[in-house]
Chains A and B, each alone.
Chain A
């Protein structure tokens, strides 16, 4: 079952406003999502918050597809209290690119973007405090990237800080 196109007043307005920066408006298993270019992501979030009542950023996360040239998929999940509707905004980001931060639109993006940076290495331009949140400051590597092994640990950090050979 593949994604089917999603048509509504909201998608018409989005397509009018943003034109060809909206790559796709689809729905899968009853969940609607919009795929856009990375530059348009923050203007879309602003538009959705101010004019379409999507005032609650539920989650901000990323998915790693290493075989694509634009390897990361940054996903914003939004919810509107007034419409009782949840939708996603996805954009494809290349390794090393710095998408704009969503903190100016939703304050909750502060820690969520820090976690995306910690796990994937995607830096957000304009973030007030871009540093690691769950792992120690000196950790090297980004665990949720597909090439980071499961058993592999940052042995140098473990040896220096815990005085043992390895965590295993």
Chain B
């Protein structure tokens, strides 16, 4: 029996453990390496599992609303929007137009905040330290608007079933317009820092390619799907909350690599500013709460409602049994489904590319584990 000598090469199994600055949360990735080339990965998740779906079966519909913010904690407003739309669908009510317009404004601000955090942390993983500070400076302005409106910056609990509970504060429109005017030159500044930079381009171009067929097979949605060339956005395909009134484009790209996802998300930020400007100009007057009784008790049945969250398609499948507590709430998290595609994307790359690809998928472990 020959013994393995010092110079024999075998497959090296390396653990990129749950405590890691670049895994965007508690994600454990086991890499099977051949030298520095990655031959396969295995993701182990569940370190942040809090049993949100089980909690939902023991709280009333109104009481469960604050819990959904805690799943995708980076962009909490979209989670609330998805949940409220799902329950409103079961109750067969619609929020009044003023509430819908305010929801659109807050959700688009939320999309900008989420993409800013993505850009800052992704650049930090690649090695560019400056964009983090600039992105968080702009994100601070968005969080100030959220704080002025609903009282919390991160776990906003901004929407209620049937509409809004707080009236828009005085100065909301001016603050939104001022933010929009301030923000577009800043996006240009980020592009000046990164887009033509040779280090950025060589780290991102050609890395982590996921073509259209694989995207649809793996159920990947959001900017990852749009970067592969599929011009599909739930805000245009199945509009909700009044999105059909606003005029915006869907950015797509050709190759489906990491650099394309970067350009798609930068362009999405500009389109969000466009939507906010239109919504603030068209903000109708009127009530902010629809006709929902004190006690929320939908009829027996089930419904699936999904929205275009900043990370992909966020869906809520709610089964009700004519009582005040939901029978089953299933959250379809975009990050969970997108993370499955990690295995396909990193094959043949280097370890440094694994970090770049985890960053470009834009996962939030709160949503992956729930």
Contact = CB atoms under 8 A, between A and B. Distances in A.
A57 B221 CA distance: 11
Interface residues of A, number: 37
B64 interface: no
Nearest to B344: A107
Given A55-B216, A56-B219, A84-B237, A31 B303 contact: yes
B299 A58 contact: no
A133 interface: yes
B317 A61 contact: yes
A28 B302 contact: yes
Secondary structure dominating the interface of B? mixed
Contact of A3 (B230, B238, B301): B301
A21 to B, nearest CB: 22
Given A1-B299, A28-B302, A111 B55 contact: no
Given A75-B317, A108-B218, A59 B54 contact: no
Interface in B218-268: 218-220, 230, 232, 237-238
Contact of B217 (A31, A61, A107): A107
B46 to A, nearest CB: 4
Interface in A80-112: 81, 84, 86, 88, 106-108, 110-112
Interface string B31-52: 0000000000000011001010
A37 B216 CA distance: 26
B109 to A, nearest CB: 27
Contacts of A81: 216, 230, 232
A131 to B, nearest CB: 11
30 contacts: A1-B299, A2-B301, A3-B301, A28-B303, A31-B303, A31-B304, A55-B217, A56-B216, A58-B306, A59-B315, A61-B330, A77-B315, A81-B216, A84-B237, A86-B304, A88-B304, A106-B217, A106-B219, A107-B218, A107-B340, A108-B217, A111-B340, A115-B336, A119-B53, A133-B45, A134-B45, A134-B370, A143-B54, A144-B328, A150-B54
